[in-house]
Structure 1
Amino acid sequence: MKAVVVVSPGTPSALELAEVERPDPGEHDVVIAVAAAGVNRADVLQRKGHYPSPEGAPHWPGLEVSGTVTWAGDHSGHAVGDEVCALLPGGGYAEEVVVNGSLALPIPERVGLVDAAGLMETVCTVWSNVFLLAALRAGETLLVHGGSSGVGTMAVQLGRAFGATVAVTASSSEKLAACRGLGADILIDYTMEDFVERMTSEGGADVVLDLVGGSYLARNIAALRVNGRIANIASAGSGPAELDFGALMRKRGTIRSTSLRARPLAERAEIVASVAENVWPLFESGAVRPVTGARFPLADAAEAHRLMESSSHIGKILLTT
């Protein structure tokens, strides 16, 4: 089969379409003919050589796909012909994937086959961090950095759907307008306004979804309410950061920093099952929807990565087969 591989870590030009061997499926697995794959910041890090696939996973990028089941193990929980989307530890930039059946879900009603490719990594990341770990509750305030990103647009919608006030940071009026359309209440252009001052004037954030990391640490703590929680899922502003424990203690705050792909299978399956129970009905009712910003053919993965690194897009970037 064909897959997009990293020839040598580096620029987007390092991505090339090549022939690879499809992994062998087991009795708990399904084989999916890929309709589309989601592009994530983690894929960019992998391309640069900073975030390799876990042991046993394909070495090429791709953390989420949608498609049709062409083979199903006896204990996979799926059947040939099922249209599904799946969470992967790697290997999604390909014509086919093999994945444990517990990490695949039926595509929700109202969501198209291709757009569903951008759901699993995004939804599972937001659900596990904002709701399961940080325990966002109705009536609280959620601050989402990068509100117009793939993760951000999902966090805005889920926060709103579960009764939170949602604040976002973004870099332009166009991006903020998109966030407003998804239900954001507090709009902060971080190129023109200090988010700490604005959030302080709004009473502070109960939960911060942080996609930046190091350089935002002290400011995120300052933006918290008492008993606030920071959920860090990326390190775009990477590098060492000094933690002022006194500031964190005064807020009685907590910080959790997580990744998804390297978790044990049982943990990832538990998150997927929780998503199916709590989030999938929101797609089926139309309360939440995927936001797709751009689609590229699989062979143009390099262009998709260039767009991702430009940060000029809104929502998810997808690769179609």
Structure 2
Amino acid sequence: MVSSWSNKLSFEGMDLYMNAINGILFGFWALFILNGEVAYGYILSFIGIVYLIGGFVIYMLTNKITPSSGVYFLGGLLLILVSVSSIGGGYESKPLITVLLWGCIAAIAAAIGYVKRWILLSIGSLAIWFVVGCYWYVVTWDTPRSEWFGMYIPFLNWGAVAWMVLAALGFFFSRKLVIPQLTDRANRMLARVYALLSHLIVGGLLTRQIENIFTEYMYDSASSYLGLALSVSWGCYALLLILWGAYYRELLFRAFGSVVLVIVAIKAIFMDLSGQEALYKVGVLLIDGRHTTCERQEKK
């Protein structure tokens, strides 16, 4: 950088790009030599901070965004984000920490992209949200819920917060994210997809919290009534989806809610209530029938 500065502030020479490659080689050697002694997150954070400082200095000296300053800044930012994901390593709650960190990063990127109208940043936050949501759906069932106040309170724990952050971010995308390069019809269709995925996240939140309630407070009856409790909660939420679709005149949500109701009814009758008295089955059929009647009335 000193040689580029002395050469009439020419920050587009090969020395800067070769220096970036040299930094990559330094990073590999540092990770190899310090393996087992220093966590890789600290090494990557150090290199990322150096790159950010370099990009900022180039920008201040040239008073404009150049390819070299952009490469340094984006490279440093990427390294810092990767180093952030190493926080919590060695703990059982590592997946939860990762989801919360990347969920907050996606939320901040989405807010900045919306305010500044930076579509690439908004799309990047959308990609992070989708990947983190898929990851959380896979790992959440074996991840500690991280209780507050030393006891389990439904919906007041860090696991529930992770679900809520992802759901809120998805609904934000469905309402605010518009990609100018796409047609209005394509943007509306994508908005429905974001909202539908967000509703699936809410379903995961309900499922996980109900499971925790039975595990914590009703352990003896968990095997007998957990399935039925999940069916009731899914059925109620499916009804809310139908009402949502009727209010916004969205056929997709009404159809999805109807499919969920049918699946829940089959599950309740043939799985949850198998071996139970006929009176329980009649009650479930009456409840599902009431849901179906409400759905038909909303359609009319």
Structure 2 length-normalised TM: 0.22
**Would you tell me which structure has more strand in proportion to its own residues?**
1
- Which structure has more relative contact order (CA 8 Å, sep 6+)? It is 1
| Structure with the greater alpha carbon radius of gyration | 2
Structure 1 length-normalised TM: 0.21
